[in-house]
Amino acid sequence: MSTSAKAPIGRPRLFDEETVLASLTALFWRQGYSQTSISDIVEASGVHKPSLYRTFGSKEELFAKVLRRYLAERMAMFGTLVAEAGPGIEGVHRFLDLFEVDAVSEQGRDGCLMVMASNELRGRLPGYDFSVDYREQMREQIQALVRQGCPEAEEDVVTARTDLLTTYLLGLHVVMRAGAEPAEIHRYLHAMHVAVDDWRSR
């Protein structure tokens, strides 16, 4: 019988990856990518630098993971709003109302992390065109909303309305990130409500 001990398979991870990513999401959201140093990341995460690099890679790779995680959560939220909105034009109005509740919340008024990162980094990290990913996924959610809101509409009409609403909401996220007050956000959403009402006659 061999008396040799088994070789160690590596030290167990002493932190929860999701918890660390959540903390770093808040950090990047607050400070931006460029203004966040590795020292800031170490302090916010409570994880030593070697472990951070071993688990998440470089700062760019870490930020890409943060953005992918944030985008997945954001699109899940949009999917929930679309499902809760219900069918017909009234469902589109309901979606806009639900969106406004989120937009004027404390977190919503910080704007969108994807918008912040797109402005700062021109929408790209090595190996990840996150701005394109964001727009495509946002458009998919809005297209689902338009289809259930306008089930009889021709495909070109669905496409045009999807593009209009997607562009509108992307722009509104920029306004939110710039610190718009709830009254201003409400005014812009009211304009979208008026535009959606015109869909009834077309």
**Which token pair is 183?**
């009254």
Question: What pLDDT does 5 receive?
Answer: 44
Question: What pLDDT does 65 receive?
Answer: 97
Question: What pLDDT does 182 receive?
Answer: 93
Tens of pLDDT, residues 38-85: 999 999 999 999 999 999 999 999 999 999 999 999 999 999 999 999
Q: Report domain extents, the chain.
A: 70-201
Question: What pLDDT does 13 receive?
Answer: 60
Q: What is the largest CA-CA distance in the chain?
A: 86
Tokens 């903390």 -> residue:
23
**Which residues lie across from 125 on neighbouring strands?**
128
Nearby residues of 9 by Cβ (< 8 Å), 6 or more positions away: none
Listed as ranges, residues in the chain with pLDDT below 50 are: 1-10
pTM for the structure as a whole: 0.87
* Packing angle of the helix pair 155-177, 113-121 (nearest 10 deg): 80
Question: What pLDDT does 112 receive?
Answer: 87
What DSSP string describes 115-152? HHHHHHHTT-BTTB-HHHHHHHHHHHHHHHHHHHH-TT
